Amino acid sequence: MRILGIETSCDETGIAIYDSEKGLIAHALYSQVSLHAKYGGVVPELASRDHIRKILPLIGHVLALANITANDLSLIAYTSGPGLVGALLVGGAVAHALAFAWQIPAVPVHHLEAHLLAPFLEENPPKFPFVALLVSGGHTQLVNVENVGKYQILGETIDDAAGEAFDKVAKILGLGYPGGPALAKLAEKGNSARFNFPRPMVKRKGLDFSFSGLKTHALQTLQEFGDDEETKQDIARAFQDAVVETLVIKSRRALRQTNMHRLVIAGGVSANQNLREKMLLMTKDEDIELFYPRLEFCTDNGAMIAYAGYQRFLLGGKADLAINVFPRWELL
Ligand code: KG4
Ligand code: ZN
């Protein structure tokens, strides 16, 4: 069967077609970055309107890329939360309308579950069970994954998400939006020996995170040492080192605690090269298999939605006629 995936939870319109036999057969992404850049962050109302403009042409484009027509589709999967309510409603309304017109079912997808399953789009997917580190703009969680739909949260952030912290420190350093990738780039030039930022909560027991203090630390360092280019680079480096090392320490702890031998990292921050490198060193040391999606499927995309929707459908999931979206929706 072929599944059309629709992602509209934030500032990216992502469309993809997943074939249950052949795997992913086509995908495309329209990013709203240039639209929001001058405001320094995502403007929800502008995001919704842009999804409206782009979603149908993009679906047409992806059908053409796959060289199929709507008649060849058997299911529509769409992100129903968490995310921006207006943006989610655009994807939800289009998914339901097309499903009704084409007489096929629609299935709502949890955005975080889709991130977590994204490594299954790759050639060498993980086997269940595994520990997943989900690091996105809105969430930071360590999850014990028994199977699709069988999740236990081992730990999570008590304040800012890792991606949110990247974005906020980027703003402090004057890097604008989108902050995470820009900060990572600046950090490459930084001197790691100059500043040493704290590794929050690593001395405390447990697997929870806290990243909001690092933002204050970055601001105070900037005020104390000035905002010349070199200082900014060094702050970016010290901040990234602190976040990455904290994520590595807690992931190692989660693996030991659960006695698992596989680790998945997913979500926007898993695109961070330094995080990938440090995780690889840790997992080698612990004799753990490490999995992550290709770069473009770390951040939001339609492919992970199509795949997660297919898995949910296999478990009996289907939407009724009501269009429901869930701006706040916990994985458990
Ligand atoms: O998963 P995602 O695309 O959207 C959410 O579901 O939130 O994640 C976006 C987040 C943003 O906070 C962004 O700054 C961060 O991921 N991000 C990065 C990198 N690429 C994206 N953070 C650090 N380094 C990167 N290379
Ligand atoms: Zn996401």
Write down the pLDDT at residue 156. 98
Topology match between the domains 2-117+297-314 and 127-292: yes
To test ligand 1's pocket by mutation, which of 269, 272, 292 has the most ligand atoms within 8 angstroms of CB? 269
**Any ligand 1 atom below 6 A from CB of 137:** yes
**C-beta of residue 307 within 8 angstroms of C-beta of residue 293:** no
Residue range 127-292 forms a domain whose CATH class is alpha beta
**Burial 135-150, CB ≥16 within 10 A → b, else e:** bbbbbbbbbbbeebee
Residue 260 backbone zone (phi > 0: left; psi -120 to 50: alpha; other: beta) = beta
Write down the pLDDT at residue 241. 98
User: Under CATH, what is the fold of the domain 2-117+297-314?
Assistant: Nucleotidyltransferase; domain 5 (3.30.420)
Instruction: Please report, for the chain, the start and end positions of each structural domain, with discontinuous segments joined by +.
Output: 2-117+297-314, 127-292
Q: How far apart are CA 161 and CA 14, in angstroms?
A: 23
- 331 CB burial (10 A radius; 0-12, 13-18, 19+): buried
- Nearest CA, atom 24, ligand 1: 272
- Calculate how far, in angstroms, residue 223's C-alpha sits from the geometric centre of ligand 2: 32
* pTM for the whole structure: 0.97
**Any ligand 1 atom below 6 A from CB of 243:** no
- Nearest CA, atom 1, ligand 1: 268
Q: What's the farthest any 2 CA atoms get from each other in the chain?
A: 63
**Any ligand 1 atom below 6 A from CB of 113:** no
- Nearest CA, atom 16, ligand 1: 268
Q: If the chain, 332 residues long, is cut into consecutive pieces of 10 residues, what is the mean pLDDT of each piece?
A: 98 98 98 96 97 98 98 98 98 98 98 98 97 97 98 98 97 94 98 98 96 98 96 98 98 98 98 98 98 98 98 95 93 82
Write down the pLDDT at residue 332. 74
- Calculate how far, in angstroms, residue 63's C-alpha sits from the geometric centre of ligand 2: 23
Write down the pLDDT at residue 176. 87
**Any ligand 1 atom below 6 A from CB of 293:** no
**Any ligand 1 atom below 6 A from CB of 178:** yes
Write down the pLDDT at residue 219. 98
